Structure 1
Amino acid sequence: MAEFIPPGTRWVDLPSPFPMKRGGALHGARLAFETWGQLNDDQSNAILILTGMSPDAHAAANTDNPAPGWWEWMVGPGKPIDTRRWFVICANALGSCKGSTGPASPNPANGAPYRLEFPELSVEDGADAATVLVRELGITRLACVVGNSMGGMTALALLARHPGIARYHINICGAARALPFSIAIRSLQREAIRLDAHWNNGDYSDTQYPENGMRMARKLGVVTYRSALEWDGRFGRVRLDADRRGDDEPFGLEFEVESYLEAHARRFVHRYDPNCYLYLSRSMDWFDLGECHDGDTVRGLAAIEGVERALVLGVKTDILFPIQQQEEIANGLRRAGCDTRFLPMPSPQGHDAFLVDAERFGLAVAGFLRMLPAAEFVADKVA
């Protein structure tokens, strides 16, 4: 078991004990983050980015780590989230293996990795941890909280559980609850990991690692992150050259799309902890903002207080967090009295469009942020 922490990562200590929504508590826990830009004197220009399940806190290059980040085209000087104007914080999710405390982290009770002794993890726990980070940085109120994918869930939990913590909100391919299709897919991913003999009830090592289970889980995920339209346009029915086929094994690789999935999966395994994958995956299945409102998700959204304006972005080809879920968020926030704009994007890339469709998503985010009051541009200050 290992944690995969990028250079330049910073940490904030969480209160000890840190109570978890579904019971239990963490002791000596911490949350990983990175920052860009400069916080102004009245703390009015802070933006918090909450990520999907697998990214780390390194959203973009900065002084401490010049390597390109996972959202490089979105965050930086002159980019849609312009760090000449905004002080940007990106938090790694609680429960991850990318710096924040999770199942792969040492349990202070015995020094060994938590493994399955880690308390049950909820999206709400991640939201509460992010609130600690914001307060520890001396920020009374965020200008904006940005959440994409699982981070969109975490952002809604943050706004619901900590009224007034942000004036504005951008929700990208997020959801206020998990739908049956998404739950089914994630259930299959978890089953693939658990049925790998090397998973060993969570007690594996780097040499006895559930590689096949993680490969299958990642392949299932990648299939749902993109759309059938993109798979067809990108690969069609193109077959592999004879020297790349798996003719030496029954039913081996034959099509380009199979080879792509295999390569993608192999890049992921041994770079993500399987137990962290299981915990974060299940936390999304459990999430429902309407659970305290008789199961009415829109009522849960309508109960959010203190958000003045919001932008909700979705993708028409998204099958994992389908477009009706972003429309539901927009409708609920409007009922909360929030001036909300909903933009259904025609991107062919499906759920992951927000990572690759810079033209559409960059334009929408930049346009929204330009309308918000904040610090003046400081051209000679670079993130």
Structure 2
Amino acid sequence: MSDARKYFNLPSPFAMKRGGTLHGARVAYETWGSLNATRGNAMLILTGLSPSAHAASNTEDPSHGWWEGMLGPGKAIDTTRWFVICMNSLGSDKGSTCPASIDPATGEPYRLNFPDLSLEDVANAAHALVKSLGIDQLGCLLGCSMGGMSALGYMVLHPDSVRTHISVDTAPQAQPFAIAIRSLQREAIRLDPNWNGGHYDHERYPDIGMSIARKLGVITYRSAMEWNGRFARIRLDAEQREEQPFGFEFQVESYLEGHARRFVHSFDPNSYLYLSRASDWFDMAEYGNGNMMEGLKRIRVEQALVIGVSTDILFPLEQQEQIAEGLQAAGANVEFVALNSPQGHDAFLVDIENYSRAIGGFLSRL
């Protein structure tokens, strides 16, 4: 656990969009830099599905964060200028209340008794956190991947609470391909006998389901171009191969296995299921009488930067273009950046140089 981690107790009861309430719930967050006298330099970062609030090292926790190259003194997100807050999503097991948390009504983990989770719930929790810090309007709201959808929810649900917005590799609604992939990931977990209807423990844990879910994810987070460039058809050395029939033979198989092994026990399977489905449910069309562009037009910000990657198959570039068009139609001054990074959806975590140039450039002009 990070020494820098702070907790905000959500209002109790905390009403959920799709019904049900949470009592005694909280979200984990970390901060960098300090608020200025006008409280106008606050930036909130909303994360993708699996990261914690530890986006970068700080004085309380010197360990590297998931966006270390992007955030810090003199970096693209300059913490000598910005007061940065990164929140762990409600429903995530990295410190926030989630299906693995204890339900105060029963004294047992919520498991599948956790209320249906939407990204609007994540957004409302984030807004409550920001208000608790005495911030009426964010100088900038930045959302990556799933966090970008939560950010759109934040802005449409809380008008005039955000001055500028940075949208990174995200979507205004889940498309069939993304839904299909996430559906397969959830099915892999649910069909693991050890999942046991959500009743597993460390000894009887759905390792195989989580492993397959993670491999499916990693395959879609990167592009075919990168897989070809990194692995081609290179085979494993004889001593690295599995003895059993149909065992691993190619380097790419071994790479995916290593990725999965590192992930499997680091994330709660039920939390994964809830956040995955929340991503499928999110749709800006709900705020525009069934029309997505009309929904986006209800967002009011002064300036926005929308970044996408041509090789992203999970949140394709056309979806970033829709966000840019919608925000522009709503009156924002929008910059749209299409990057050609070969890394696909994960480029924002890997191609720090190009993302730094885009994000740092935008922030320097504010």
Total equivalences in the alignment? 366
Unaligned runs of 5+ in 2: none
Is 2:10 the counterpart of 1:14?
yes
- Aligned to 1:99, which of 95, 100, 106? 95
Identity %: 62
User: Taking CA–CA contacts closer than 8 Å with sequence separation of 6 or more, which of the two structures ends up with the larger relative contact order?
Assistant: 1
Q: In the alignment, does 2:283 pair up with 1:288? A: yes
What amino acid does structure 1 have at the position aligned with 2:54?
Answer: H
| Residue identity opposite 2:142 in structure 1 | V
Q: Answer with 106-115 or 325-334: which moved more.
A: 106-115
Could you say which residue in structure 1 is the equivalent of 2:321? 327
Q: Indicate which of 205, 212, 227 corresponds to 1:209.
A: 205
Paired with 1:108 and 1:224, the residues of 2 have a C-alpha distance of: 38
Aligned counterpart, 2:303: 309
Residues in 1 aligned to 2:54 and 2:19: alpha-carbon distance in whole angstroms? 30
SS at match of 1:168: strand
* Contact 1:71–1:355 (8 Å) recurs in 2: yes
Other structure's SS at 2:319 match: helix
Deviation at 1:176, TM superposition (A): 0.6
Deviations 1:145-198 (A, max 9, x none): 000000000000000000011100000001110000000000000000000000
Match of 2:20 among 14, 24, 28: 24
Give yes or no for contact 2:70–2:356 (8 Å, CA) kept in 1. yes
1:307-336 CA-partner distances (Å, limit 9, x unpaired): 000000000000000000000000000010
Q: Secondary structure at the match of 1:291?
A: helix
* Aligned positions of 1:332-343 closer than 5 A: 332-343=326-337
* Aligned AA (2:294): R
- Bigger mean CA offset, 104-113 vs 124-133: 104-113
Partner residue of 1:276 out of 271, 275, 289: 271
* Matching residue's letter, 1:222: V
Taking the aligned partners of 2:99 and 2:224, their CA distance within structure 1 comes to 34
Q: Counterpart of 2:39?
A: 43
Of residues 64, 68, 72, the one that matches 2:68 is 72
Alpha-carbon distance, 1:295 to partner: 2.0
Q: Quick check: 108-117 or 271-280, which moved more?
A: 108-117
Structure 1: unaligned runs, 5 residues or longer: 373-383
- Secondary structure at the aligned position of 1:31 is classed as strand
Counterpart of 1:183 (choices 179, 182, 188) is 179
- 1:380 maps to none
Paired position in structure 1 for 2:312: 318
State the distance in 1 between where 2:89 and 2:246 align: 38
Q: Which residue of 2 aligns with 1:379?
A: none
2:341 equivalent to 1:347: yes
- Counterpart amino acid of 1:167? R
What corresponds to 1:375 in structure 2? none
TM-score, normalised via structure 1 length: 0.95
Q: Which amino acid in structure 2 is aligned with residue 343 of structure 1? A: V
Q: Quick check: 2:289–2:295 contact (8 Å CA) kept in 1?
A: no
C-alpha distance in 2, partners of 1:53/1:172?
A: 14
Mapped contact 1:74–1:81 kept (Cα < 8 A): yes
Offset of 1:292 from its aligned partner?
3.3
Residue 63 of structure 1, CA deviation: 1.2
Of the three residues 98, 113, 128, the one matched with 2:124 is 128
By how many angstroms is 1:8 displaced?
A: 2.1
1:195 equivalent in alignment to 2:208: no
Q: Pick the aligned partner of 1:356 from 332, 350, 354.
A: 350
SS at match of 2:102: coil
Partner AA of 1:63 in structure 2: T
Q: Which amino acid aligns with 1:252?
A: G
Q: Name 1:86's counterpart in structure 2.
A: 82
Q: Which residue of 2 aligns with 1:223?
A: 219
Q: 1:233 pairs with 229, 238, 244, which one?
A: 229
- Which residue of the other structure, out of 142, 147, 150, is the alignment partner of 1:151? 147
Deviation at 1:140, TM superposition (A): 1.0
* Pair 1:170-2:166 in alignment: yes
How far has the Cα of 1:125 moved from its partner? Answer: 0.2
1:266 matched to 2:254? The reply is: no
CA positional deviation for 1:368? 0.3
4+ aligned runs moved over 6 Å, structure 1: none
Q: Is the 8 A contact 2:99 2:271 kept in 1?
A: yes
| Counterpart AA for 2:47 | T
Quick check: 2:140–2:162 contact (8 Å CA) kept in 1? yes
Q: Secondary structure at the match of 1:197?
A: coil
* AA partner of residue 308 (structure 1): E
CA RMSD of aligned residues (A): 0.6
Q: Distance in 1 between matches of 2:247 and 2:278?
A: 35
Deviation at 1:239, TM superposition (A): 0.3
Distance 1:292 1:312 in 2: 20
- Work out the CA distance in 1 between the residues paired with 2:26 and 2:336: 35
Q: Which amino acid aligns with 2:329?
A: R
The answer to whether the Cα contact below 8 Å between 1:6 and 1:98 also exists between their aligned partners in 2 is: no
